[in-house]
Structure 1
Amino acid sequence: MKIVIFGLTISSSWGNGHATLWRGLCKHLTRLGHTVVFYERDVPYYAGSRDFNELPGGQLRLFSNWGETRSLARSDIGDADVAIVTSYCPDAIAATDLIMSEGRAVPVFYDLDTPITLARLMAGETVSYIGQQGLKDFALVLSFTGGPRVAHEFRERLGARDIRPLYGHVDSDIHRPVPPEPHYRADLSYLGTYSDDRQRGLEALFVEPARTRQDLRFLIGGAQYPDDFPWSPNIYFVRHLPPSEHAPFFASSRLTLNVTRKAMAEMGWCPSGRLFEAAACGVPLLSDHWPGIEEFFTPNKEILIARDAQDALAALAMPSPELQSIAQCAYERTMDQHTSDKRARELVSLLEQAASSGANRQQQSEEA
């Protein structure tokens, strides 16, 4: 298949979770023999931190504005089998209109920010990447978040016909066990972009334990942290880490923390790609709780759950052999179920089903 994608970014992992996921998916789609073309608006804040300049086996099309690339996009869509529009794509509505007007490629919408989308809809706010037609014209709607609410809400609020989850994943070529690095050494680490709605959880599960255990070393890696963040002397900081540094960052931690954004935690079934990345690097996982987490990792066997600072402190006090056993089980589960190769194959299967369903609907329409 030729797959054309209109996304937020694949070229820069700064301050977003989309890029790393797309890199893994696109790499494995091309390995499976498919052709991928990725359209990304070239904006200054991503250009200034670009850590991915070409799409091996595919094409990365950077452009300054939609007007200058519309003709090329039409040409790509004209001989494509599938065209995907994603959440937070700056030109999502224009790309959707073009895909629908051409009428050839199977139209797919991939929401990598489902809880945020639904929270805005329920608050009566506009969603910049979904037009007035909602999602009813898409043959397939993919959601980064699963669970019982998603299909109902997308169907009722946006008219979506076929809604399927396509969860996060890890590129095991990049995220794998590596030797620890002294400058990343930590008893508890946290890797993530700053977010207001994660701050309460981060303070409870990271900052408060750090204040209690001044004898331990805590490390945060990420971008956009404010000057008034409640640092303590034993909390260290590494500004934005490119994906190539994720493996040594995780591998140097005795334990690493996952904190979920509020809207995602309330929705549930929302595994962050960071969970799979850390597990693939062989580090024990500590996470806040959200509905459905046990479908991805078994609590107390493959992951530790913390609801408050005391739970986090108890995890930090666990013997190293117990933590390593949990890490090994999570690694095996991740390699079996949550790699980019597995997700790419899932995506291909879903796209083939959507194309087949569309062909059947077309045939029935013609016969009628």
Structure 2
Amino acid sequence: MKIAFYGSSLLSAYWNGAATYYRGMLRELAARGWEVTFYEPDAFDRQQHRDIDPPVWATVVVWDNTPGACREVVARAADADVVVKASGVGVFDDELLTVFDHARPDALTVYWDVDAPATLAEIRGQPEHPLRRALREIDMVLTYGGGPPVVGAFEALGARMCRPIYNALDPTTHHPVEPQARFAADLSLLANRLPDREARIEGFFIEPAASLPDRSFLLGGNGWHDKPLPANVRALGHVGTADHNAFNCSSLAVLNVSRDSMAENGFSPATRVFEAAGAGACLITDHWEGIDQFLKPGEEVLVARDGREVAEHLAALTPERARAIGEAARRRVLAEHTYARRADEADALFRQSLAARRERSAA
């Protein structure tokens, strides 16, 4: 059984927060017998910043960022049993929707959204948006975040089915390691500078840092080089995935700050949440509805509604309590929130849907 997956990048996490999700999900689906081909464009300098080699569990096709190359890889959808177009490829997104037109009649067609709030905001004001037509014709929408508001919104736009397949942990890639002095801090944050998150990072990270001048803060991620920061904040720039474990294990606590739309919709834990928990880090997160579905506030995660509460959590946090929270979070995600569990959901959904379709065709 073959999956053709059209996404941003499997090989590079450079300006590509979905990479960890793609890798965790697709490796586990391959372990369940799926033959995965991932089609990614040579765009945004990602191929120059690869952080993994082509894996044995997927065939990766890197296509030139040209209309002709796009048409060529789109046509290959006819070879697959499941055809997946992910959101946010970043180039030729509308043209890539035609993969569904190339799918065989007996194939399953899936739009897999890794940023549902942004997608919904984009198409709400565009009655002729190409995705609107696609949603009414394909079999299902999967999202890596979003609860009832996201499901309801996609179904209102005509999707036959919408189901969240949430972010999770791959314990083979994200796990405890020895701390490293270069990542030592009281509070660390790993987040690219994005327009719809910058104000929240100012409130949840930069302002608490300014209010606690005797504590040390570490900021990793692209785009912060020209941002004015308090003297006790050290900006690292891009942190490759190979360093994420050390980054998460070397500070007293790790902060998660959601983008505006993710926080508003809730039920959208970022990959960073599970990466940090998998490393046994003490996580402080901004508040969003549904957090208790994934981690228990006060025991497995600390939740802050504003920067003042971030500062209060940090001021009261002892190494012993931080260790206890991190260990509890790791136990929880290993038990309930791994990509193996998520892939079981997707695998069953794909196989059941394909079997039902083929049974109807044979009747």
Please state which band the TM-score falls in when normalised by the shorter chain: over 0.9
1:123-157 superposed Cα distances (whole Å, 9 cap, x missing partner): 44876xx4351311111210122321122211212
Is the contact between residue 300 and residue 329 of structure 2 (CA under 8 Å) also seen in structure 1? yes
Equivalence for 2:10: 10
CA distance in 2, matches of 1:213, 1:329: 27
Unpaired runs of 5+ residues, structure 1, are none
Displacement of 1:322 in angstroms is: 1.8
Counting matched residue pairs gives 359
Displacement of 1:247 in angstroms is: 0.2
Shift in CA distance, 80/124, structure 1 to aligned 2, threshold 3 Å: closer
Displacement of 1:213 in angstroms is: 1.6
How do residues 124-135 of structure 1 correspond to structure 2 at under 5 angstroms? 124=126, 130-131=130-131, 133-135=133-135
Is the contact between residue 184 and residue 251 of structure 2 (CA under 8 Å) also seen in structure 1? yes
State the TM-score, normalized to the length of structure 2: 0.93
Displacement of 1:331 in angstroms is: 0.5
How do residues 1-368 of structure 1 correspond to structure 2 at under 5 angstroms? 1-64=1-64, 65-68=66-69, 70-71=71-72, 73-75=74-76, 77-89=77-89, 90-103=91-104, 104-124=106-126, 130-131=130-131, 133-157=133-157, 159-225=158-224, 227=226, 229-316=227-314, 317-363=316-362
CA distance in 2, matches of 1:222, 1:279: 19
Name the SS of the counterpart of 2:136 in structure 1: coil
Name the SS of the counterpart of 1:23 in structure 2: helix
CA RMSD of aligned residues (A): 1.9
Could you tell me the percent identity over the aligned residues?
A: 33
Is the contact between residue 225 and residue 237 of structure 2 (CA under 8 Å) also seen in structure 1? no
Unpaired runs of 5+ residues, structure 2, are none
Which amino acid in structure 1 is aligned with residue 232 of structure 2? Answer: N
CA distance in 2, matches of 1:326, 1:57: 34
Is the contact between residue 123 and residue 132 of structure 2 (CA under 8 Å) also seen in structure 1? no
Displacement of 1:85 in angstroms is: 0.4
Shift in CA distance, 125/178, structure 1 to aligned 2, threshold 3 Å: farther
Greater mean alpha carbon deviation, residues 270-279 or residues 191-200: 191-200
Displacement of 1:48 in angstroms is: 2.5
Is the contact between residue 207 and residue 230 of structure 1 (CA under 8 Å) also seen in structure 2? no
CA distance in 2, matches of 1:13, 1:323: 28
Name the SS of the counterpart of 1:45 in structure 2: coil
Displacement of 1:52 in angstroms is: 2.6
Is the contact between residue 248 and residue 254 of structure 2 (CA under 8 Å) also seen in structure 1? yes
Name the SS of the counterpart of 1:331 in structure 2: helix
Is the contact between residue 112 and residue 143 of structure 2 (CA under 8 Å) also seen in structure 1? yes
Shift in CA distance, 322/289, structure 1 to aligned 2, threshold 3 Å: same
Is the contact between residue 123 and residue 131 of structure 2 (CA under 8 Å) also seen in structure 1? no
Is the contact between residue 8 and residue 16 of structure 2 (CA under 8 Å) also seen in structure 1? no
Name the SS of the counterpart of 2:133 in structure 1: coil
Which amino acid in structure 1 is aligned with residue 33 of structure 2? Answer: G
Greater mean alpha carbon deviation, residues 92-101 or residues 159-168: 92-101
Which amino acid in structure 2 is aligned with residue 68 of structure 1? Answer: A
Which amino acid in structure 2 is aligned with residue 113 of structure 1? Answer: D
